[in-house]
Amino acid sequence: MRRLALILAATGLLVAGCGSEGTVSPLPSKVIGTTPTTPAVKGDPAAGKAVFTAQGCGSCHTFKAAGATGTVGPNLDDALKGKTPDFVHESIVNPNAVVAKGFPPNVMPQTYGSQLSDKQLADLVAFLTQK
Ligand code: HEC
C-alpha cells in the first residue's frame, strides 16, 4: 500500500512538471533567411508594356508581346521561359547579378532600379512573366 502511494506521488510530480515549462510560442521569434526581392506592389501587365516601350527595352531586346525586335540583349521570349518573377526583377534592377550566357556585362543599363518606381518595376515584371 505504501508503495502505491509513493508511485502516485511520483506521477503527481511528473504531471506537475509538465505544466511548469512556461508558454511555448508556435512562431519563431526570428526570421531566418531572406525575404523576396519583388516588391509587394501588384503588377499590371498592360502598364508594364507601356513601361517596356517607354524605356526603350525593345531597342536591345526582342519580345513579341511588345513588338520588339532588338538583338543587343537576349531574346526575352526565349530567355525568360520558366524564370521566376524574382529573377526577372533582379535582372532589371541589377543586370550584372546574373549575366545572361553569351552576352557581355555592363551593356544593359544599371540604372532602372533607381529610375523606375516599385510600381513600374512590378508592372514590367508582370508583363514579362505573363503566360
Ligand atoms: C543597351 C541595351 C539594353 C537595354 C536598353 C536593356 N537591356 Fe536588358 N539586357 C541587355 C543585355 C546585353 C543583357 C544580357 C547581359 C545581362 O544579363 O546583363 C540583358 C539582360 C536582360 C535580362 C535578363 C535576361 C536573361 O536571359 O537572364 C532581362 C530580364 C532584361 N535584360 C530586361 C530588360 C528590360 C525590362 C529593359 C528595359 C527596362 C532592358 N532589359 C533594357 C541589354 C539591354
- The CB of 112 under 6 Å from ligand 1? The reply is yes
Residue 51 within any structural domain of the chain: yes
Q: Of 27-31, 45-49, 65-69, 71-75, which range is least confident? A: 27-31
Q: Check if the beta carbon of residue 121 is closer than 8 Å to that of residue 69.
A: no
Please give the distance, rounded to the nearest whole angstrom, from the Cα atom of residue 30 to the centre of ligand 1.
36
Mean pLDDT within 63-92? 97
Domain membership flag for residue 25? no
Specify if 50 maps to a domain.
yes
Residue 32 domain-assigned (yes or no): no
Does residue 127 have its Cβ closer than 6 Å to ligand 1?
no
The amino acid at 124: L
- What's 93's domain CATH number? 1.10.760.10
Q: What total of structural domains would you count in the chain? A: 1
- The pTM assigned to this predicted structure is 0.77
How many C-beta atoms lie closer than 10 Å to residue 116's C-beta? 18
Its domain, for residue 67, covers 45-129
Higher pLDDT, 40 or 8: 40
pLDDT of residue 19: 54
| Structural contact between residues 122 and 73, judged by C-beta atoms closer than 8 angstroms | no
CA of 79 relative to ligand 1 center, distance in Å? 10
Segment 19-64, tens digit of pLDDT? 556 667 676 667 677 666 555 678 999 999 999 999 999 999 999 9
